[in-house]
Each structure stands twice: as structure tokens, then as C-alpha cells.
């Protein structure tokens, strides 16, 4: 077998920002003037919103609705001042923002032109053509504030998304953000280093997310500081986290994996990791491709270990991102041993392995009381790239087992020939699955005696997984059901 070509780790540049319909910004309006033209219900809601942000709102209209009178009487924060006349160009001078409510396009255009001439950003309610900015749908957990915009295309959809997010975000998050604002000054006086303060906020965030309904207490602050100080010099040391990226579909990432990606300084990832998974990473994190692909150019394992340890010794939070689950044919043992020998803290975040993801997509159970009492994972090649000599062939021939063969592309024909010679029933259903869980997943079903020849003819792209066992027969039934659902 030819020697595998060497490849050096290479840095992947950050993904370019895609085009934005609107730039999401959060204006500080406390103590500033906002001009509002219009006295109706729509204008009243904007008056309340601007007041809630701390602006002094001057409302110009010939008459005021009950909603506007109530907004002025019960202003949430900044004063709402009603001026019973039409707006004038000079009213806009020195304003932070201008908002108008007009049914007539000509009146809307005149207001927008006057605001721009005065250098004031303008919004005309429900008339995007005259707007410099839009409000969007708002989730208020102030000081935590989230805005949702569809660029005016579908306001009802933005409201539906807002409702979804409202259900996901506990009200208690507001208390924790307020506590964070109050603790920032105290933290500077606590004598912690930069790394220590970063660790404090990691502890804070983890606790707040897991205890959103608890009221923040000074005892929490003291406990976080004490925990950081208790780490001593270890707080300055970097860490390594082995993270399972799953077989491709980014929606299969665990919450813990997402948190690791969003707190990483450096991410070392394999070729099998989909770029959609990398989108969950912190944008500022360095991303280094340390590709290891079957029979293709690959980085040496000792080179990856050395890089991982070197970065951690620089105080970096290193994520070693692996396709599938790092504990299943992911060389996790070698990397954990390297970290332990170097005195580097190492954590593992498991992921969905390819067999599970593929089976779920195909609608088959890997174990079944009627067909399979045992599940086994087998690697298709040894260290030298050849068929492993220590496979338990009797277990492979067990009719009550489901076998998932990983990385079988180069050795599948030899593996199946040996398994058949050792007693595997040639009629046993088998599946070859290409690019499991990804949008372009494909599979080929055949009796195990025919699979290798059928696979050669089909030329499915990698990565490839083969599953053998009676449960595989259910894949055809599942595909037929899906076709029937689409037809109906």
C-alpha cells in the first residue's frame, strides 16, 4: 500500500460576513431627544418604546389618541411631551432620532427629507422606503435585549420568531445581566488576572444559564471569585477539549459542544468536520485544519499532539474538533495520553457517531428485540491501512448482531470476503451509507454478498459507512414510506 502523503496544519481564514439587509445596532438614547410626528396608536407605541430606552420624546400632532395620552401619562422611563401642533423643520435640530407616522407618502417624504437634512436618522412607520433604520421585533430581558428584523419583508414572521425566543429565554436572565453590570467594578478590585477574570465570567455564565430563576446574590460573586482563586496558577494554563462534531448535520451538535466552540481560542479540526459546524464557533477563534483523511494527505498524529499541547501551554483554550464521536475511532486515547503526559487539563465532549446519525436518517433501529440483540463498531483498517488481523470474525457472522464498519473504503471487499468465509450468511441485508446525515446523504442496499460489487459500480463519495445486519432491511421499507408520503 502506498505511503500516505504528509500534510502540515493549515490555518483556515475566518468566514466572510454574508450580506446584511440591515446592520443591527443598539442605540443609547438615555437623556437624548427623540422627535415623533403623529398622535395615533401606532405613534403611541413608538413613543413608549423610545421612552423605555430613556429618550425624552417630543410628540408633534394636531390631536392625540387615548393611547398617546396614556403613553405620556405613564411613560416607562423618559418623559413623553405632547406638543399640540404639526412638526416643523427646526424641531428636528439636535434630535437623536426622528420617527413619523403618516398615511400620505408625500408627507412621509417631506418628514424624511427634513430629518436627513438635519442629520437625524429617521423611521417612518410601515413605510420602509423612507426609513434609515427599523425597530424590528423586540425580546426584552433588559439589560439583555434581542431584536429580530426581516427588513420589513415579513413583520408577522418576525413576531412569530420573537414569540419563540420569548418562550426560550427565562425572565430571570434580566436579573443575571443586571448583576453582571453591578459586579464588573467589584471584579476589577478582586485582584484577579485577565485569565482569572475570564474564568470568573465562564463560571457566571454557566451558573446563570443553569439557574435562570435563582436570584443573583453577593454570595454567588464571592463563590465564583473563591473558585477562581482556588485554581491558583492553573487558571493561567490552557486547556484541551476533545469535541465530537457529529457526522455532518450541524443540528446534531450537543449544547455542550456549542458552548465549547463558542469559548475556544483555537480550533483544530479534521476534514470530516462540516463547515456548517464551524459556523457555531467563536468568530475570533483561530481555526486550523489538521486534516486526517483515509488514504489522503494527512497531518501526522504526533504533529497534532505537539501543536495541541504547545497552544495549551500558551494559555489557549484549545478545541480538538473531530467528526462523529471522538471516543469512537477518533484517536482520542492518543491525544488524551499526550495531554496527561504534558500536564494539560483535557475534557471530552461526546458527539453523535456516524452509525447513529445514519440509522436515524434511514429510520432504522440499530438494536431490535426481534432482530438484533447486539451492536458492534468495527474499524475497516489497521494502523498500516490494511484489513485488521484481530477482528472477531465469529461475532461478525452472528445473525443477531448489527455491525457498523467505519472507514471501509479500501478494505471492504477483503473484509466481506473473509466474513463470508467465516460463516456470515450471504443473504444478510447490508447498507453502504455515503456522507451520513448531510443533505447529500446517499445509501445503497444489497445482500452482503453483493454489496462490494454494487458499491464499486455506484462510486459513492466518502466518507463511507457500512452497516450489516437484519435491521438494515428496514431501510427499504422506510424509503418506500417516505416516497408514499411525498406522493400523497
Orientation angle between helical segments 173-188 and 194-210, nearest 10 degrees: 160
- Find all residues with CB under 8 Å of 345, minimum gap 6, and list them: 234, 237, 239, 240, 339
Asked if 217 and 280 sit in the same domain, the reply is no
CATH code of the domain covering residue 334: 3.40.1010.10
- 218 and 204 in contact (C-beta within 8 Å)? no
Reduced to 3 states (helix: H, G, I; strand: E, B; else coil), residue 129 is helix
Among candidates 172, 160, 121, 166, which has minimal Cα distance to 146?
A: 166
Among candidates 380, 375, 266, 249, which has minimal Cα distance to 318?
A: 266
Q: What is the 3-state secondary structure (H, E, C) of 417-432?
A: HHHHHCCCCCCCEEEE
pLDDT of amino acid 2 = 47
Look at the pTM and tell me if it is higher than 0.75: no
Q: Please give the grid coordinates belonging to residue 87.
A: 412638526
Of 232, 249, 280, the residue at which a domain comes to its end is: 232
> Is residue 407 within a helix (H) or strand (E), and if so which, with residue range?
none
Question: How far is Cα 466 from Cα 445, in angstroms, rounded to an integer?
Answer: 10
- Find all residues with CB under 8 Å of 90, minimum gap 6, and list them: none
Specify if 440 maps to a domain: yes
CATH code of the domain covering residue 420: 3.30.950.10
Asked if residue 4 has pLDDT above 60, the reply is no
Asked if 378 and 474 sit in the same domain, the reply is yes
- What's phi and psi for 146, nearest 5 deg? -125, 130
Annotation says 270 is catalytic:
yes
Among candidates 66, 71, 68, 37, which has minimal Cα distance to 51?
A: 71
Asked if 119 and 201 sit in the same domain, the reply is no
Specify if 304 maps to a domain: yes
- What's phi and psi for 204, nearest 5 deg? -60, -50
- Residue 227, domain extent: 173-232
Catalytic residue among 292, 316, 322, 325: 292
- The pLDDT > 70 percentage for the chain reads 93
pLDDT of amino acid 1 = 46
Task: Cite the beta strand spans of 68-167 per DSSP E.
Answer: 80-83, 97-100, 122-124, 137-141, 144-148
Of 183, 203, 232, the residue at which a domain comes to its end is: 232
Asked if residue 476 has pLDDT above 70, the reply is no
- 128 and 138 in contact (C-beta within 8 Å)? no
Asked if 410 and 371 sit in the same domain, the reply is yes
CATH code of the domain covering residue 38: 3.40.50.720
Mean pLDDT, residues 87-91 taken together: 96
Residue pLDDT, tens place only, 432-474:
999 999 988 899 999 999 998 998 888 888 889 999 999 998 7
Q: Please give the grid coordinates belonging to residue 421.
A: 468465509
pLDDT of amino acid 387 = 86
Give the total number of structural domains in the chain: 4
Q: Could you tell me the pLDDT band of residue 330, with boundaries at 50, 70 and 90? A: confident
Specify if 442 maps to a domain: yes
Specify if 49 maps to a domain: yes
- 207 and 220 in contact (C-beta within 8 Å)? yes
Asked if 364 and 467 sit in the same domain, the reply is yes
Asked if 396 and 304 sit in the same domain, the reply is no
Specify if 382 maps to a domain: yes
* Average predicted confidence (pLDDT) for the chain: 89
Among candidates 357, 476, 468, which has minimal Cα distance to 415?
A: 468
Specify if 405 maps to a domain: yes
Question: How far is Cα 266 from Cα 311, in angstroms, rounded to an integer?
Answer: 8
pLDDT of amino acid 232 = 83
Q: Please give the grid coordinates belonging to residue 397.
A: 457472522
Provide the CA 74 distance to its chain's centre, in angstroms: 41
- 231 and 421 in contact (C-beta within 8 Å)? no
Of 310, 325, 352, the residue at which a domain comes to its end is: 352
Asked if 114 and 216 sit in the same domain, the reply is no
Q: Which residues pair with 226 in a beta bridge?
A: none
- The pLDDT > 90 percentage for the chain reads 55
Asked if residue 231 has pLDDT above 50, the reply is yes
pLDDT of amino acid 243 = 95
CA distances 344 to 235, 286, 313, 337, 338, Å, are: 12, 20, 8, 10, 9
Catalytic residue among 270, 271, 287, 325: 270
Specify if 8 maps to a domain: no
User: β-strand 401-406 against 464-468: which pairing, if any?
Assistant: antiparallel
Question: How far is Cα 396 from Cα 394, in angstroms, rounded to an integer?
Answer: 5
Residue pLDDT, tens place only, 364-382:
999 988 888 899 999 888 8
Asked if 219 and 294 sit in the same domain, the reply is no
User: β-strand 10-12 against 286-289: which pairing, if any?
Assistant: antiparallel
Question: How far is Cα 157 from Cα 153, in angstroms, rounded to an integer?
Answer: 9
Asked if residue 234 has pLDDT above 60, the reply is yes
Residue pLDDT, tens place only, 392-427:
999 999 999 999 999 888 888 999 999 999 999 999
Asked if 227 and 272 sit in the same domain, the reply is no
Q: Please give the grid coordinates belonging to residue 140.
A: 426584552
Tell me whether residue 383 is exposed, middle or buried, using C-beta atoms within 10 angstroms of its C-beta: 0 to 12, 13 to 18, 19 or more: exposed
Annotation says 292 is catalytic:
yes
Q: Could you tell me the pLDDT band of residue 24, with boundaries at 50, 70 and 90? A: confident
Asked if residue 481 has pLDDT above 60, the reply is no
Specify if 91 maps to a domain: yes
- What's phi and psi for 96, nearest 5 deg? -80, -40
Give the number of C-alpha atoms closer than 13 A to the C-alpha of residue 421, restricted to the C-beta side.
Answer: 6
Asked if 360 and 341 sit in the same domain, the reply is no
Question: How far is Cα 233 from Cα 195, in angstroms, rounded to an integer?
Answer: 10
Asked if 123 and 66 sit in the same domain, the reply is yes
> Is residue 11 within a helix (H) or strand (E), and if so which, with residue range?
strand 10-12
Residue pLDDT, tens place only, 128-149:
899 999 888 888 888 889 989 8
Cβ of 183: how many Cβ atoms within 10 Å? 20
CA distances 268 to 302, 330, 466, Å, are: 14, 13, 27
- 351 and 324 in contact (C-beta within 8 Å)? yes
Q: Please give the grid coordinates belonging to residue 17.
A: 460576513
Q: Which residues pair with 57 in a beta bridge?
A: 34, 80
Among candidates 469, 250, 243, which has minimal Cα distance to 362?
A: 469
Q: Could you tell me the pLDDT band of residue 479, with boundaries at 50, 70 and 90? A: low
pLDDT of amino acid 484 = 53
Cβ of 203: how many Cβ atoms within 10 Å? 15
Asked if 127 and 206 sit in the same domain, the reply is no
Amino acid at each position: 500500500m502506498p505511503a500516505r502523503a504528509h500534510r502540515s496544519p493549515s490555518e483556515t481564514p475566518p468566514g466572510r460576513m454574508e450580506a446584511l439587509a440591515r446592520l443591527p445596532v443598539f442605540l443609547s438614547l438615555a437623556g437624548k431627544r427623540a422627535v415623533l410626528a403623529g398622535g395615533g396608536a401606532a405613534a403611541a407605541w413608538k413613543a413608549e418604546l423610545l421612552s423605555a430606552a430613556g429618550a425624552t420624546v417630543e410628540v408633534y400632532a394636531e390631536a392625540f389618541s387615548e393611547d398617546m395620552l396614556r403613553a405620556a401619562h405613564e411613560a416607562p422611563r423618559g418623559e413623553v411631551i405632547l406638543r399640540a401642533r404639526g412638526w416643523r423643520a427646526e424641531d428636528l435640530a439636535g434630535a437623536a432620532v426622528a420617527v413619523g407616522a403618516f398615511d400620505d407618502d408625500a408627507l412621509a417624504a417631506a418628514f424624511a427629507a427634513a430629518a436627513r437634512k438635519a442629520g437625524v436618522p429617521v423611521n417612518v412607520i410601515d413605510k420602509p422606503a423612507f426609513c434609515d433604520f427599523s425597530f424590528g421585533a423586540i425580546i426584552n430581558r433588559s439589560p439583555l435585549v434581542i431584536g429580530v428584523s426581516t427588513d420589513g419583508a415579513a413583520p408577522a414572521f418576525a413576531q412569530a420568531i420573537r414569540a419563540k425566543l420569548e418562550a426560550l429565554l427565562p425572565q430571570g436572565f434580566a436579573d443575571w445581566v443586571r448583576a453582571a453590570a453591578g459586579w464588573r467594578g467589584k471584579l476589577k478590585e478582586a485582584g484577579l488576572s485577565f485569565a482569572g477574570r475570564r474564568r470568573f465570567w465562564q463560571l457566571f455564565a454557566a451558573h446563570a444559564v443553569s439557574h435562570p430563576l435563582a436570584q443573583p446574590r453577593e454570595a454567588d460573586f464571592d463563590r465564583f471569585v473563591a473558585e477562581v482563586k482556588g485554581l491558583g496558577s492553573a487558571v493561567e494554563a490552557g486547556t484541551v477539549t476533545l469535541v465530537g462534531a457529529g457526522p455532518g448535520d450541524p443540528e446534531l451538535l450537543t449544547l455542550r459542544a456549542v458552548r465549547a466552540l463558542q469559548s475556544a481560542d483555537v480550533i483544530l479540526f479534521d476534514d470530516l468536520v462540516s463547515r456548517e459546524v464551524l459556523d457555531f464557533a467563536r468568530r475570533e477563534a483561530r481555526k486550523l485544519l489538521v486534516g486526517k483523511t483515509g488514504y489522503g494527505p494527512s497531518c501526522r498524529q504526533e504533529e497534532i499532539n505537539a501543536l495541541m499541547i504547545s497552544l495549551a501551554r500558551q494559555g489557549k483554550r484549545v478545541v480538538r474538533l473531530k467528526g462523529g464521536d471522538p471516543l469512537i475511532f477518533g484517536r482520542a486515547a492518543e491525544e488524551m495520553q499526550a495531554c496527561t503526559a504534558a500536564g494539560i487539563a483535557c475534557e471530552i465532549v461526546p458527539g453523535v457517531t456516524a452509525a447513529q446519525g445514519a440509522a436515524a436518517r434511514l429510520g432504522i433501529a440499530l438494536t431490535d428485540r426481534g432482530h438484533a440483540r447486539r451492536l458492534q463498531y468495527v474499524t475497516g483498517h489497521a494502523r498500516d491501512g490494511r484489513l485488521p488481523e484481530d477482528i472477531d470474525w465469529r461475532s461478525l457472522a452472528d445473525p443477531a448482531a448489527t455491525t457498523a464498519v467505519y472507514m471501509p473504503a479500501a478494505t471492504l471487499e477483503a473484509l466481506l470476503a473473509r466474513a463470508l468465509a467465516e460463516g456470515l450468511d450471504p443473504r444478510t441485508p447490508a447498507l453502504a451509507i455515503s456522507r451520513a446525515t448531510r443533505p447529500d446523504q446517499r445509501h445503497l442496499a444489497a445482500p452482503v454478498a453483493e454489496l462490494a460489487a454494487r458499491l464499486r459500480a455506484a462510486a459513492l463519495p466518502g466518507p463511507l459507512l457500512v452497516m450489516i445486519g437484519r435491521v438494515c432491511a428496514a431501510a427499504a421499507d422506510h424509503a418506500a414510506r417516505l416516497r408514499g408520503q411525498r406522493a400523497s
